[in-house]
Structure 1
Amino acid sequence: MVEIGPIIRDIRKTKQLSLRNIAERTDLTMGYLSLVERNKVSPSLSSIEKIAGAMSIPVSSLFPRPKIQTQYIPKERRTHLHHSLGGLLEYLCNPTPSSSLCVYITKIHALESMIFQHEGTELIYVLHGELHLYVGTEEYVMREGDAILFNASAPHWGVPCDDKLEMIVACTSINNCHLFSEKSTR
C-alpha cells in the first residue's frame, strides 16, 4: 500500500499552503487532512483528486515512481568470458545482483555433453550455425534465425553441428545461468 500522506504534506509545505487552505479548497475537514498526512486514514480516489487539485498538481505526482535502471554498454566495454564449455561468452548486459535477466552472445566450438536444469526461463536465438537442442524429451534442430523459449527447469542440453555456432541466450535467473566461468577478458 502506498503511503502518500507524507508526500501530500511535503508538497503542501513546499507550496506554502496551510491545512486550512487545502480544507477550504476541497470541502474536506482540517482534521481529516491531518489524518491523511499522518497516514492514519487512507483517502479515497475522490479525496486524492480534490487534494491534488487544491495544490494545483497532477494526481500522479502524489505517487512514488519506480526507479528505472538503465544499462548502456558500448560494444568495446562488454565483458567477455571464456567458458569451460568450449567457447566465448559476450554479455549484452552486465548481470547485477538486482537484475533478473542475463543476456549474452555465445560462440561455442565444442560442447561437453552436460545436462542443464535451473530455475527461470531461457531463450535461445541462433545467429550462425546449427544446434541440436534437447529440452526434456523433445529434440529441436535449430538453424540460423531460429529461436526457442522454454522453462529452464526442464533438463536441457545442446549438440553443436559445426564449429561456427553462435547464438544469443537470455536467462531470467542469472544466478543459475549455466555458462559462467572464471576467466574474464575485455
Structure 2
Amino acid sequence: MVQRLPVGKVIRSLRRELELTQADFASRCDITSQYLSLLELGRVNVSLDTLMVIAAELGQPLSSMLLAAETLAEAERPKRSKRKS
C-alpha cells in the first residue's frame, strides 16, 4: 500500500513561515478553512489543481513542495532492523 505524502505538513510549515492564519490563507486559495485544516492534518486528498494554487500562493514551486513531502515521509518512516544471518 502506498502511503500518502505528508504534503499537508509542508503546506502548514510554509503557511506559518508567511505568518498567515488558516482562514486568511484558505481565502487566498479559494478553499474553506475547514478543508485547509483537514489537508494540513493529512485527512483529505488534494487535487492537483488545488495544490498548484496553494503552491503559487506560497510562492513555491510545486516540485519543491513535493520533494519536501517525500523527504519528510522518508524521515518519518520506521527503520527496519537488519536480521543477523
User: Do both share a fold (TM > 0.5)?
Assistant: yes
The correspondence for 1:63, drawn from 54, 63, 66, is 66
* 1:31 maps onto 2:34 in alignment: yes
Deviation at 1:47, TM superposition (A): 0.9
SS of aligned partner of 1:64: helix
Q: Deviations over 1:84-124 (max 9, x none)?
A: xxxxxxxxxxxxxxxxxxxxxxxxxxxxxxxxxxxxxxxxx
Q: Which has the larger radius of gyration?
A: 1
Note the aligned Cα RMSD (angstroms): 1.7
Structure with higher helix content: 2
Which stretch of structure 1 is more off in the superposition, 14-23 or 4-13? Answer: 14-23
Q: Which runs of 5+ in 1 are unaligned?
A: 68-186
Deviation at 1:39, TM superposition (A): 0.1
Give the structure 1 partner of residue 44 of structure 2. Answer: 41
Q: Which runs of 5+ in 2 are unaligned?
A: 72-85
Runs of 4+ in structure 1 off by over 4 angstroms are: none
Give the structure 1 partner of residue 5 of structure 2. Answer: 2
**TM-score (ref. length: structure 1):** 0.34
Amino acid paired to 2:40: E
Give the number of equivalent residue pairs.
67
* 1:17 maps onto 2:6 in alignment: no
Deviation at 1:61, TM superposition (A): 2.1
Deviation at 1:60, TM superposition (A): 1.4
Q: State the alpha-carbon separation in 1 of the partners of residues 63 and 18 from structure 2.
A: 17
Structure with higher strand content: 1
After TM superposition, the structure 1 = structure 2 runs for residues 94-133 of structure 1, keeping only pairs within 5 Å, are: none
SS of aligned partner of 1:16: coil
